[in-house]
Structure 1
């Protein structure tokens, strides 16, 4: 049962108000009232495909005093496991929403925001029927590459880098399409648009998202920016509206302390079979540790066709039996390529999501999405904490964990220990030659 449960699809009209008070929903249990004392109200203005929002998102509490809550997607393949078709369908829906409003310009670049929207933006790029290139922002610091750096101010990790120099249409294209899962104030997009336009002015910027919570003041800021930059700025989204969130800050801080207690889980130390699988795939000539086709330094439509071909040619290395329940797990920004591999096994019982830097509070109760949390050091950057959520809540037979960067086997010991404390019988660590 979701926090966003509503009666029927017909309930989604302009100015619909959905009231969600967790304490009221769980009033039969005083312990739950004490555990989670927060409420939020959502008012939808627009829902262009008449979708059931309950199928798309839930709400969690996070350890970030800049913003205490997080809308958690059920279909994005980030924090929660989903079916591959659900994630890729988000990209297709955003493309259809774009096409309902606008005609394509001659050329442009799709930019998605790390880390949550890297897979979503790549999916948009795959489905868009126009001459566009794709790149995603990154938290990776790469030497000897030109970058635009900017801030995502409310994020748990604020710094973004955009390594744009290998793109043709960043300079000469007519449009920039920005893709994120959620737009709240638009500040991050404003920061990036200003930086891009100072270098290479564009005819149009289009900001695409699943959710758009911008208020009238925020939209006016973009209208003012349009005039200042002599450009056009548009918005595409699946849902738009507003929300109010309230919580007891002291109780939330108490729950954060409980959530950070790594000793709260009973260690199972189950016997776990560990395999290492090596995939042949091109890497960037400038920097051999990164894969060519992720979009970190930019790809075009031909690169995308090459990627799909290489995945089809290499997927035979992943052994999956017909009756197995299998998790494909990406790592941080590395989301889309693991999703493509998962998509090759349409007849099997496949789930997909990714590790993340986003620190969400875990509470194992009904109506709350993040029930368990396992913490480990980043596979990419020492000293950066990563989380993987709910991997012990579905009884997977095996998992394929994808890591973009080749690493020594010893460096996976920590994450292997995590999987040994689940009921997963086999962990396959997928690396790239």
Structure 2
């Protein structure tokens, strides 16, 4: 994850003394400063599509590669996924065609594995989808911070202690599909201390004991003490718990980091805020022709047949979007909204396939408050701030879109029916229209 040879973590390292070590880790992540007293630093992934607009086939390919590593581990193999690492390395360097090659070599499952895959909201919802896709026969669910709809029961929940928003809910529509003694794969973008995973495994095991769990993350930054806690939990529960990642390392944090970061944020936030013109460009709606009955994502469950039906319709959905793009749009951002990451990711990849001469990027909005610094050695260069627009369970609050600058010729904003609200029309939409022409694509509620 480098910009013209500059690692987008140098700014934080120089000012706060945060160090990232590990083979290949700095190719996958940069650094930013959180506005969060629980954890002052933020690892910003270059292959996740959350904070950094990224080539969508790289995002999906990296997720499929992680899923292949999980599949091999469940089949009793610790090796095999490394054969795809050169494609990942080339894609990270921006080699032409490498992202598509990575995705295409992994997009067909290598042999179905029955499992339950659980992705963490909001950051890893699409990553969890990709892991489930790689397993072929998995049932996928992601946690949510949105209020369950009428008639939806909550299966359970757990806490993410370091997060800005700590509570996670599980609300599978098909409890029987989720509540089985098959391997449970827990997917997050990073394993920092493993506390969230410990909380999740305990909560899941209390509701329905399982014999095997697999932790899957793009980067594993746990200490040996963290790993020991996980081994102790496995022994306590009488279950096997494995961990797989694309890279492993450590984050070295100086003493007093929280206070140093707070002072730095206060200092830099005291200047005049960035002024983003609102509503300069046109906003139009585009009808995706979303397939009836296919869920927008894994909030209440997503199965193999959902993926196959979605894949069949993606080329036509991309054509509908392309037909409404401004003439000559050479740089296009497909922007998802919070937990809704998988559908816009797959749409962005299909659009990139359809428009090979265009530079199509993918990212999503987020709850995570962080400092923006316009420096090539910092991961988050710009920040848009707007109100929540989907009635979250924990009430209203600020939301953010990072690195959405004025280099884009068009922005395709993808949300679902619950997010298509007056708050969206008055908040995020005019901010985006201050950057570029906007196409708004709304996925029907639960694919209806």
1:418 aligns with 2:431: yes
2:311 matched to which residue of 1?
308
Q: Counterparts of 1:229 and 1:191 in 2: how far apart (Å)?
A: 13
CA distance in 1, matches of 2:279, 2:250: 46
1 CA distance for matches of 2:192 and 2:319? Answer: 42
Q: Please list every run of 5 or more consecutive structure 1 residues that lacks an aligned counterpart in the other structure.
A: 8-19, 26-36, 285-290
Q: Which of the numbers 287, 298, 301 marks the counterpart of 1:298?
A: 301
Are residues 1:357 and 2:364 paired? Answer: no
2:338 aligned residue (321, 332, 342): 332
Deviation at 1:214, TM superposition (A): 1.6
Aligned 8 A contact 1:357 1:386 in 2: yes
1:343-385 CA deviation, whole Å, 9 max, x = no partner? 1122132011000001110111231111211100112136221
Separation in structure 2 between the aligned mates of residue 253 and residue 222 of structure 1, nearest angstrom: 31
> For residue 397 of structure 2, what is the aligned residue in structure 1?
384
Higher relative contact order (CA 8 A, sep 6+): 2
Partner SS for 1:207: strand
Matches within 5 A, 1:251-330: 252-257=261-266, 263-269=272-278, 271-281=280-290, 292-318=295-321, 319=323, 320=325, 323-330=329-336
Computing the radius of gyration over CA atoms, which structure comes out larger, 1 or 2? Answer: 1
Equivalent residues of 2:12, 2:31 under 8 A apart: no
Kept in 1, the 8 Å contact 2:384–2:400? The answer is yes
- State the alpha-carbon separation in 1 of the partners of residues 289 and 422 from structure 2: 18
Q: 1:404 aligns with which of 416, 432, 435?
A: 416
Q: CA RMSD in A?
A: 2.8
Instruction: Give the deviation of 1:194 after TM superposition.
Output: 1.5
Q: By percentage of residues, which structure has more strand? A: 1
Q: How many residues align?
A: 394
More helix by share: 2
TM-score relative to the length of structure 2: 0.80
> How far apart, in 2, do the equivalents of 1:270 and 1:132 lie?
43
TM-score of the two chains, using structure 1 as the length reference: 0.83
Are the aligned partners of 2:18 and 2:252 in contact in 1 as well (CA < 8 Å)?
yes
The corresponding residue for 1:237 is 245
Partners of 1:414 and 1:431 lie apart in 2 by: 16
Please give the secondary structure, in 2, of the residue aligned with 1:181.
strand
Deviation at 1:192, TM superposition (A): 1.3
1:124 deviation in Å?
1.1
What is the match of residue 100 of structure 2?
A: none
